[in-house]
Amino acid sequence: MEKYAINKNMLRQLSLMKNHSGPSAEIFDSLYAQMVIEVSVYQYQKSSIQKEVDYTLEIGDKAQFEKLTEKYNKFLAKYKDGITCREQGFEFTIQLEE
């Protein structure tokens, strides 16, 4: 698993939320679960696109490579501000490190 999946910063932010007057345990657990799912989906999609790009390089398909490179860049742009999960008025954002 990549280093940003569950990093120290994410755990520290969640711990601070839990230790201060803030979300209940249920909301805290929900935010944590949502974040794990969102990061997992991000990792899977990113890996899939990277594999497609690598394959087009192997077979020398320049047109498909350019198309997939554009797709990959759009994907990264979508997540440039990280991933944010919300639950009952509480919000948690994690930045994705490259």
Whole-angstrom CA distances from 46 to 37, 55, 89 are 14, 14, 29
Question: Model's pTM, two decimal places?
Answer: 0.73
If you average pLDDT over residues 57-64, what whole number do you get? Answer: 96
d(CA 98, CA 8): 15
Least confident range of 21-25, 39-43, 59-63: 21-25
Q: Can you give the pLDDT at residue 1?
A: 42
pLDDT above 90 as % of the chain: 54
